[in-house]
Amino acid sequence: MATCLCDAFFDDVAKATVQVLEYLGVEVEFPADQTCCGQPAFNAGDWKASRKVVRHVVDAFKGEDPVVIPSGSCAAMLFHGALLEFEKEDDLPEVQQLANRSWELLDYIVNGLGVTEWPGSFPHKVSFHRSCHLRGTCSGPAALQLMESIDGLEIATFGEAEQCCGFGGAFSVSHPNVSGKMGQLKIENILAADPEYLVAADMGCLLHLGGIVDKGGKNLPRFHVAQVLRDALISANLLPAD
Amino acid sequence: MPTKSQQEIDRFARDLKPDVYQSVYGGTKATTEKRYEVLFRDYPDPDLLRQTAGQIKQHTLENLDKYLPQAEAALKANGAQVHFASDGDAANRMILEIMKANGCKSMVKSKSMVSEETGLGHYLEDNGMKCLETDLGEFIIQIDNDHPSHIVKPVAHKNRRDIAKSFEREGLGDYNDDPETITRRARKFLRGKYFEADVGLTGANFVSAESGRLTIVTNEGNARFCMAATPIHIAIVGIEKLVPHDRDLALFTALIGRSGTGQHLTSYTQFIGGPKREGQPDGPEQMHVIFVDNKRTEVLASQCSEILRCIRCGACLNVCPVYRQASGHAYRSVYPGPVGAVLSPLLAGSRFPELADLPKASSLCGACNEVCPVNIPIPDLLLRLRDKAKTEHAEKAMKGTPPMGMFGLLASQPHAWRAAMTMGAAMNLTPDAIINIVPPAAAWNSCRQLPKWRGGKFRNWMKSRSKN
Ligand code: SF4
């Protein structure tokens, strides 16, 4: 699943995801009927609208294959949120079936495929923002494990790393002041660590943090972990640069 | 830069005085760090403890009909008098009646969140009784005629200069903002008051159904003085405070100090199961335990019963990025922060719509759940309440949130979705229903910028590859 943010803004992240998975020998299908995971409406409290979208997701991703998602929050929507809003619905079993085979990308690579090391090099200092939807899942450690195994990649840790970036979907507009202040604080902490790139595994966080950086006229390039993995592959000639 | 906002908590955060922000932010951050350090140094797997404690509490809640009578019987056997109050008013009336029946005029009171719920202090004053808060934080709130902004640290929004000014104003000495001096002055003032009072009131952190034993934890020893110096002890206790056995107290006392203040154990831990027995040198002659329902059975029957596990440690407030930005008063209720965002609208009963916006004030980051010593899935509960607000058309909750009807329609129709994706690029203007994913421009652009629209690009790339 590409996620709607990649569909709308971050096509290169989706591309990198496909390339990384294919390098690992995974055959990637992209069901053209996919739209969004339903999370915006779910978080906004409009579960009726959200269930409509989730039903569509169930339909678009029929079958037994794993559904791999380059976003912690969209993945969590499928394996956790959707179950919550379908608790009392008749089609809960179908949603549960999809939940059982939904994976966040890095969790899938490390714990699904058993790949724990990554070839190539990425000679840069990066800060990794552990998105909140990775809390309590295996994705955060998986992302770090892979990145730490890449030649030349240096992780710059920063203060208050546990804190949320302040995005929160509709929260970012219903509570623009709190959301903005949370984001500023995060950016200050990250900039203090002086990384070359800000890396995360959720484009929601990066959209929000990137928006604050750009608005403030600061310079902090952003990367999804998939893009780092892809560039490392290119550096080792395991993937053609295009 | 200040941004227009339709949500009260957001406006409160926007207009928060820098001093208050500093107090709240600094205090909560330090406590969170201490909690982490102590918990992880002392236990190899604190998560297991949190889960166990959560299960014990959930079990107790689901079997309250068994444990409540058990606790009542045990307390009575110990010589205590047990009362049940269906709501706050009933609890207040009972307390007033006990005081009148015994010719009492004044009460010393230690910290109790239920008494905040019932508004006991003001009720007693209105009925001609004296009521003095003896917890330092609550004492400051009382002399300032203010409201607590944190469930463990009521004065989280004040700094020592504020407090020194209040003490000076109240004639407790010249201006001096040294914390030790402030504490010593309060202590000197309060010490005599214990002996003048007729009644001591406490809450209870835990009640063992097995023995009826109340556990009361403080850092100032004031609860102990309230019980020791007065002939009548009244304990006001929410019915959710039960645990099945005395042995459970080991787990809960270990967790509450570490979670709340980063202490191994609070400085004072009191156990009391009844009034003074024959031959016992001191202790209250009468002990009354008032179990308060005040909407708790309704919450128990709701989809959010897990919130009743709460042991009021305050850890979720301390770690919450929204609480840190907005402070406790932003929540307009007795319980602020994540726990309050769930509990307050529920305790409001039919006045739910008035507080229906509280569950919206969260990025759902889950930090609260991660620290909660009884593992309450707070984000899930916030989401359930958002659904409830929407279903019940609670207007306050919906303000500022983009309507999702159009989004739901579009995101369930692949053709329309694809068209919208490419249209966005063609017009370099984002169709409304999709921008709802990354919502209304004004609020978004106030402090953020949107990247360029690239809808359809990835799909074309995928397509071009499958042709090769
Ligand atoms: S909800 Fe959990 S963390 Fe928050 S005050 Fe209650 S017990 Fe503590």
Mutate to test the interface with B, among A4, A35, A55, A71 (most CBs of B within 10 A): A35
- Model confidence at B426: pLDDT above 80: no
- A181 → closest Cβ in B13, B399, B452: B13
Distance from CA of A236 to the nearest CA of B (A): 23
- Residues A94-130 have pLDDT tens digits of 999 999 999 999 999 999 999 999 999 999 999 999 8
Question: Does the CB of A88 have a partner CB in chain B at under 8 Å?
Answer: no
Distance CA B226, CA B270 (A): 12
* The pLDDT value given to residue B436: 47
Determine the distance separating the centroid of ligand 1 and the alpha carbon of B268, expressed in angstroms.
Answer: 20
| CB B201 near ligand 1, within 6 Å | no
Residue nearest atom 6 in ligand 1 by C-alpha distance: B310
| CB B337 near ligand 1, within 6 Å | no
**Lowest mean pLDDT, pick from B9-18, B249-258, B426-435:** B426-435
Average pLDDT value for residue range A161-185: 88
- Residues B40-70 have pLDDT tens digits of 999 999 999 999 999 999 999 999 999 999 9
Taking the whole predicted model, whether its pTM rises above 0.90 is answered as yes
Determine the distance separating the centroid of ligand 1 and the alpha carbon of B435, expressed in angstroms.
Answer: 36
Chain B CB contacts of A60 below 8 Å: 414
- A7 → closest Cβ in B2, B391, B455: B455
* The pLDDT value given to residue B440: 61
- A47 → closest Cβ in B387, B417, B443: B387
| CB B214 near ligand 1, within 6 Å | no
Question: Does the CB of A166 have a partner CB in chain B at under 8 Å?
Answer: yes
Q: Residue B381 — pLDDT band, cuts 50, 70, 90?
A: very high
Question: Does the CB of A84 have a partner CB in chain B at under 8 Å?
Answer: yes
Distance CA B117, CA B110 (A): 14
| CB B367 near ligand 1, within 6 Å | no
Complex ipTM: 0.93
Looking at per-residue confidence, does B384 or B401 come out higher? B384
**Lowest mean pLDDT, pick from A95-109, B183-197, B374-388, B446-460:** B446-460
**Lowest mean pLDDT, pick from A21-30, A128-137, A170-179, B94-103:** A128-137
| CB B186 near ligand 1, within 6 Å | no
Mutate to test the pocket of ligand 1, among B339, B370, B380 (most ligand atoms within 8 A of CB): B339
The chain A residue lying nearest B11, using CA atoms, is A177
Chain B CB contacts of A135 below 8 Å: 365-367, 370
